[in-house]
Chains A and B, each alone.
Chain A
Amino acid sequence: MHVTIETTQHSITILHLHGDVDMKEVTSFRQVLQTAIRDAGQGVVVELKRVPFMDSSGIAVLIEGLKWSRERSIPFILTHLTPSVQMVMELAHLEGFFTIAENLDDALALITQRC
Chain B
Amino acid sequence: MLEVTDLDVFYGDAQALWDVSLRLDEGEVVSIVGSNGAGKSTLVNSLMGIVPARRGSVVLAGADITGMPGHHICGSGMAIVPEGRRLFPGLSVADNLDLGAFNVEARPHRAESLERVETLFPRLAERRHQLAGNLSGGEQQMLAIGRALMARPRLLLMDEPSLGLAPVVVDEVFEVVANVAASGMGVLLVEQNVVRALEISDRAYLLSEGRIVMEGEPAELARSPEIRSTVLGV
Question: Are A and B co-members of a single complex?
Answer: no
- Give residues in A with beta carbon < 8 Å to B: none
- Give residues in B with beta carbon < 8 Å to A: none
